[in-house]
Structure 1
Amino acid sequence: MAWYTGDVFYDTALLAGFAYVLIIALAAKFGQAAYGRFGGRAPGIKFEPRLGWMLMELPAPLVFIIIFFQGQNSDQLVPLIFLGIWIIHYSNRGFINPLLMRVHKGSKASFNISVVIFGWIATAAHGFFSADFIANHAKHLTPEWLTDPRFIVGIIIYAIGFMLNVHSDAVVRNLRSKVPNPNEPRYKVPYGGGYRFVSSPSYLGEMLSWLGFAIFTWSLAGVFILLVTMANLVPRALATHRWYQKQFEDYPQNRKALIPYLI
């Protein structure tokens, strides 16, 4: 089974996407994306975190749905299952989690517009590559694919990553009281769940999700978003780990940055 589609436009655009991944990886050497704890000092227009997250993630579901329903296989079982997975993933990532965020009372907007703009490029490309591949180019996504070991392994990895992501977000969210209190610390050390092992389990969960997606779709589109995610989140996880160690003297010494017991 060839991963390249043979469609000149699609394959060329995908190669350009991989070049963009390299740019992201190189840019990470000069600093972290300007949002959250790393967004306060960056110049430029800034959004409130919840709005910034929703704006940044919006192209992924919109582009995917538009491209998907123009595809010749959009009425087939397996592509429709993948559509459902996509909608669930981005409903959580782009809408539910941002709306549930508990923003520290009195905190300034910190989600820089540059993050939104560069995020649009990645999420729009991701939505296009994945939807077009699934709905038009994939020849292997027949009902028999649901019993293929690659689908089974991939969906298990994806589910583990998704659950880790959701739980880790909930742990951080519950560090702050439901009623905003300007007197409580803006940042606290999270404990429990994936935080027993690493400083950024939500990042680990996101990477596991897209690793699973790449496997169960068996596509370079999945590899693209996995590499984009890693290029963004691996350096950020390392920087977050160093930040926690600097800010909290009692930070758990056995906790790694991203991969339990290793990194």
Structure 2
Amino acid sequence: FLVHCRALIFPLLIRAGKPTPFFTFVLALLFCVYNGYLQGRSLSNYAIYPSGWLKDPCFITGIIGWLIGMAINIHSDHILRNLRKPGETGYKIPRGGMFEYVSGANFFGEIVEWFGFALACCTIESLSFALCTLFILGSRAKQHHQWYLEKFEDYPKNRKIVIPFVY
């Protein structure tokens, strides 16, 4: 859970852009602190795993899903950070990687990541976090998708919102 450091590293890598409203920052901070506490407490105090859990297909599949999701997330963030060259202004259509399939490729990666985490942990708390991630980022991806369609006449019409080939 702690290895996922997007919240710490991504802000340091992006170029200056629009400032985040303070209220949004506070809500995000509170969510992250509460979720971190909930996940940590669940895993350290309540989750009970059999001795062979690390070899269980559920755990292995979950870890693989988490790693794939993280790789998609990092790659998609890299594409977004490099859309404009230094000094350039204006908006561009993201291309490459999962952006060929969905408008919210970074969101898709994060959703896959946290469902993988939930599968590896097999706790109600990790599943609730994965579902929250799906609903929150799914709605953000829908807003981004609609914005892209309105802003760019040549935006790929076959791109889905956040789940390749589905939504």
Q: TM-score, normalised by structure 2?
A: 0.93
Partner of 1:89: 4
Match of 1:136 among 16, 22, 45: 45
Correspondence 1:20-35 to 2 at 5 A: none
Match of 1:61 in 2: none
Equivalent residue, structure 2, for 1:21? none
Q: RMSD over aligned Cα, in angstroms?
A: 1.4
Picking from 160, 174, 179, the partner of 2:68 is: 160
1:58-97 → structure 2 map (5 Å cutoff)? 86-90=1-5, 93-97=6-10
CA distance in 1, matches of 2:162, 2:7: 22
Tell me, which stretches of 5 or more residues in structure 2 are unaligned?
Answer: none
Whole-angstrom CA distance in 2 between matches of 1:141 and 1:241: 43
Instruction: Tell me which of 197, 206, 211 is aligned to 2:115.
Output: 211
> Hey, what's the Cα distance between the residues in 1 that align with 2:148 and 2:104?
11
Q: Distance in 2 between matches of 1:228 and 1:112?
A: 21
> Which residue does 2:153 correspond to in 1?
249
What amino acid maps onto 1:133 in structure 2? S
1:126/1:224 contact within 8 Å kept: no
**Structure 2 residue matching 1:155: 3-state secondary structure:** helix
Consecutive unaligned residues in structure 1, runs of 5 or more:
1-85
Cα deviations by residue, 1:44-74 (Å, 9 ceiling, x for unpaired): xxxxxxxxxxxxxxxxxxxxxxxxxxxxxxx
Matched residue, 1:58: none
* Aligned counterpart, 1:259: 163
Counterparts of 1:6-45 in structure 2, within 5 Å, are: none
- How far the C-alpha of 1:130 sits from its partner, in A, is 0.9
Following superposition of structure 1 onto structure 2, how do residues 149-228 of structure 1 map, counting pairs within 5 Å? 149-177=57-85, 179=86, 181=87, 184-228=88-132
Distance 1:240 1:112, change over 3 A: same
What is the match of residue 83 of structure 1? none
Aligned residues: 167
Letter aligned with residue 176 of structure 1? R
TM-score normalized by the length of structure 1:
0.61
Partner-residue secondary structure (3-state), 2:48: coil
- 1:122–1:228 CA contact under 8 A, matched in 2: no
Q: Kindly tell me: are residues 159 and 141 of structure 1, through their superposed partners in 2, closer, same or farther at Cα, counting changes over 3 Å?
A: farther
Q: Which amino acid aligns with 2:4?
A: H
Any residues of structure 2 matched to 1:104-115 within 5 Å, and which? 104=17, 108-109=18-19, 111-115=20-24
Q: Structure 1 residue 260: deviation in Å?
A: 1.2
1:127 match: 36
SS for the counterpart of 1:176 is coil
Query: Alpha-carbon deviations, 1:156-186, whole Å to 9, x = none?
Result: 1111111000000000111122x3x1xx233
Identity rate, percent: 37
2:60 partner SS: helix
